[in-house]
Chain A
């Protein structure tokens, strides 16, 4: 299966800007389906960005984060060609990991 994580990390001088888009339903547990039954909550709880074995950004998410979540942040100290590791875990224990090259 193709990765659920799409990342663009661009180094500009000392600062690397990271944009990530993840495919996930992010069901809040408040929405009903076509039959009128509640769709159980299903959302990403933790999203982590690691550079050089160190966390550079950690997100704790609740169900109020939009479907197919997007996040943008920047950090210092990385160079073009370096690796950035991204991983997430959801409330049902599912997870995904990918590694992006900083361009």
Chain B
């Protein structure tokens, strides 16, 4: 009898423990997000975020506004989601970084590039896309964030087997 109640008590304790750990885990997320993009370290937290908005917040700590000074080049239709050529060029001045987000990938942030003084604010790369979704380019210029968005239709995803 007493051993049964003992077991139940332990079980309850374990459950409570698990619940509080989960809560603490959730509570911690926003703090990791405070890291600025100017930081030289690899932005691990930003790469872990699922949604594009959270990833932008984790990487830069602010929100972006759309700009027509960013040219985002991506195919209308990508036959192979594993290799989608995407490039960004901007006429904005004082650009310090350019980042690429794929909205509905398991983790939205794909790549982030630091653009030091003297480097042309233009980057081309190839990304994986799980399915048809928006590709968002964020340009950080003079301390502000600007974005450009384009939908790319994917016929074969780049994340399945």
Contacts and interface: CB of A to CB of B under 8 A. Distances in A.
A32 B159 CA distance: 10
B118 A32 contact: no
Given A62-B109, A67-B82, A72 B124 contact: yes
B113 A73 contact: yes
A57 B112 CA distance: 11
The secondary-structure label for the interface of chain A is strand
Interface of B: 42-43, 47, 82-84, 87, 102, 105-107, 109-116, 118-120, 122-129, 158-161
Interface of A: 15, 28, 30-32, 45-46, 54-67, 69-77
Given A45-B42, A62-B110, A70-B126, 13 more contacts: A28-B128, A32-B161, A56-B116, A58-B113, A62-B47, A62-B111, A63-B107, A64-B127, A71-B125, A72-B123, A74-B120, A74-B122, A77-B118
